[in-house]
Structure 1
Amino acid sequence: MPVTDVTTDPEALTMTLTADFAAPVERLWQAFTDPRQLEQFWGPPGWPATFTSFDLEPGGRAVYRMTGPRGERSYGSWEFLGVDAPRSFEVLDAFADEDGTPLADMPQSRMVFGFETTDGGSRLRNVTHFASAEALEQVVAMGAVQGATMAMNQLDRVLEGLRAYAQGKGTRTEILDDQHVRITRLIEGPIDLVWRAHHESELLQQWLLGPDGWRMSVCEVDPRVGGHYRYQWQPLEGTEDETFGFDGETLVIDAPHRAVTTEHMTGTDYPATLNDLSLYEEDGATLITLLIEYPDAQTRDIVLATGMTDGMEASYARLEGALAGV
């Protein structure tokens, strides 16, 4: 993971994050100063950022929002205090309302982003300066250390490019913490087709089949916020008693980039998971990222032990074949 250290200093009133990357300083600078690249990693998993303005010059401002998996929104703003490309920039960071106006009752901080060359590539040193010990404690209590670490650990795939990061690696499963698992798979095909394949019944029934020997016998989809879906599978050779399925509700839709749904095993009292699907296209290929939130580590481990990753890889391989015929 790129992040090597995060420290807080109550006496100096600072929080310092250090991360190393196998990329030149100029590439790291580009990732932090191009809002389309920055929003791919600035929000932690489950809270992606969208920058609505970005004026990179002293006195300029950037405004962004982060959208949670249940549709919650948090807003922030930067006022650029200094820019020294490609070595550093400095901002006044603030919690904001939806118009980008800083919130008077929330702490503001001064952040310095420093970039330096290393033998292996480049290093980010991000130092956040707080006005008081209370402000530092408040931000840390809100999860700033964990959130910043998880956000910066997403940057490698942006720096590498999608094909170098994911092509040929198949379906990958990463355990992020006790409740969260991230699954990634690069699909050869444009984002619009991959999105359709996740939300149109005719296409879903061609690829979302899991291991060989099963078919999707029920596929009902209502891809609207508040809409419900229901999937059911049964073996090609067997009885209806062997069927199983999932149902859930759509919580967030941002076509063709993101959809968040609940997922519950039909006919059981098992707790539901939260499935956060994100799509990003680059050079004709689309990276699927599925962030799954489990109720606890025990449930997570039980599901992973079923061979879920292998089943998903079989389905994603079918997806590429289905897209080739569209």
Structure 2
Amino acid sequence: MTVIDVQKNPEALTLTVTARFDAPPEQVWKVWQDPRTLERWWGPPTYPATVVDHDLAPGGAVTYFMTGPEGDKYHGWWRVRSVDAPHGLEFEDGFADDSGRPDPGMPTTTVRVRLTAEGGAATVMTIESTFSSTEDMEKLVSMGMEEGISAALDQIDSILADSAA
């Protein structure tokens, strides 16, 4: 299993997911850097993502939608705050309406991704989501955020195996 730890900290308003991959950080970074690769894992298996815009640079934006089993679409966006390839990035993450505009009725999170080399040939990825309030955290966790990101991350091993072949 890829995900090795999940920590919810209501006092700090954070959800932190840690995963380990048998690939160096430079290879793992590519799952964020390339929009077609990002599509292969960003959504859980039953909600695959389609990346519409992908500007992974400070001040840039990423827009996407996930398509559910019944064909229903859920739109989202990132505002990229910082990028330190291949070590990490930070972005604001939120929901969008059908035209891709941020949905002000839904919570946003600040996401910090860290890629740390482990023993030269492995990488530990830490994804920390920070919420604006306890209510926002409870809402997103109750919507399945923890299970969704864990299922999404579990798809990365096969992507890394494909790219190593």
Query: 2:49 maps to what in 1?
Result: 49
CA distance in 2, matches of 1:99, 1:111: 23
SS of the residue aligned with 2:140?
helix
**Residue 109 (structure 2) pairs with residue 125 (structure 1):** no
Matched-pair identity in % = 41
Q: CA deviation at 1:99?
A: 2.3
Aligned residue identity for 1:113: V
Q: Which shows bigger deviation, 154-163 or 138-147?
A: 154-163
CA distance in 1, matches of 2:163, 2:11: 42
Cα displacement (A) at 1:163: 8.7
Partner of 1:33: 33
- Say which SS state the counterpart of residue 151 (structure 2) adopts: helix
Q: Could you tell me which runs of 5 or more consecutive residues in structure 1 were left unpaired when the two chains were aligned.
A: 165-326
Unaligned runs of 5+ in 2: none
Equivalent residue, structure 2, for 1:200: none
2:44 is paired with a residue whose SS is coil
Partner of 1:225: none
Equivalent-residue separation in structure 2 for 1:45 and 1:87 (angstroms): 26
- Aligned-residue offset at 1:162: 7.2
Partner SS for 2:101:
coil
Give me the TM-score of the superposition, normalised by structure 1: 0.49
**3-state DSSP of counterpart to 1:161:** helix
Residue equivalent to 2:61: 61
| Offset at residue 31 of structure 1 (A) | 1.2
Structural RMSD (CA): 1.2
Question: What is the one-letter code of the residue matched to 1:85?
Answer: A
In 1, the alpha carbon distance for the partners of 2:163 and 2:24 equals 17
The aligned residue for residue 138 of structure 1 is 139
Normalised by the length of structure 2, the TM-score is: 0.96
Counterpart mapping for 1:85-96 below 5 A: 85-96=85-96
1:73 is aligned to 73
How far apart are residue 101 of structure 1 and its match? 1.1
Amino acid at match of 2:112: V
Separation in 1 of the partners of 2:11 and 2:163?
Answer: 42
1:148 partner letter: I
Aligned to 2:154: 153
3-state SS of paired residue (1:38)? helix
Q: Report the equivalent of 2:12.
A: 12
Query: What does the per-residue CA deviation read over 1:97-132, in whole Å, with 9 as the maximum and x for residues that have no partner?
Result: 122211001001100111010025101000000000
Task: Give the match for residue 230 of structure 1.
Answer: none
1:159-202 deviations in Å (ceiling 9; x for gaps): 110795xxxxxxxxxxxxxxxxxxxxxxxxxxxxxxxxxxxxxx
Q: Secondary structure at the match of 2:92?
A: strand
Within 5 Å, give how 1:162-181 maps onto structure 2: none
- 1:1-326 alignment, distance < 5 Å: 1-119=1-119, 120-161=121-162
Paired AA for residue 71 in structure 2: G
| Partner Cα distance (1:6, 1:48) in 2 | 22
Count of matched residue pairs: 164
